[in-house]
Structure 1
């Protein structure tokens, strides 16, 4: 594996840490919940002939979920990258120990 690959993995690990912090942040969680609640309430109160309004609110609700999903994916990718970096370090240590270069 090249240094560029390891750098990419390190970046993914760093992004995961930041994404985890964001997902654990009470203010951000409150913002997601508040937006979803407000959009859902507005969507439910639309009139029968306001299809365009419902569609826009439906999209808004989904965007909130997609932002959360994006952060969750960053956490997952970072965990995978961390495991891959650990495996690389263990492989390098075994090669060093047994004189395989």
Structure 2
């Protein structure tokens, strides 16, 4: 990353994703979905391989959504660090008359 506007967008997205990950209602929804999918998966009959496969995928998708949000947060932290470094570099150049 290098474009400041791109970095700022990534930092803003990270703040939104972090708020979602910290949201009690959303976490409750994720947990309820996982529990209901697991219960339905366990209740499938022996000959319902297709049903088990769909439920297995549904369980994993809930985790993938959480992982995606965590990745957005991580990218935003990197973007914030890069923005800080850019600001410090600009300040040093200004202080030493390079600009």
Provide the TM-score with structure 2 as the length reference.
0.96
Aligned to 1:17: 15
- Whole-Å separation in 1 of the counterparts to 2:88 and 2:32: 45
Aligned to 2:62: 64
Structure 1 runs (4+) deviating above 3 angstroms are none
Calculate the aligned-residue CA RMSD, in Å: 1.2
SS class of match (1:46) = coil
In the TM superposition, residue 57 of structure 1 has moved relative to its aligned partner by 0.1
Provide the TM-score with structure 1 as the length reference.
0.94
Aligned to 2:4: 6
What residue ranges of structure 2 are gaps of 5+ in the alignment? Answer: none
SS class of match (2:52) = helix
SS class of match (1:78) = helix
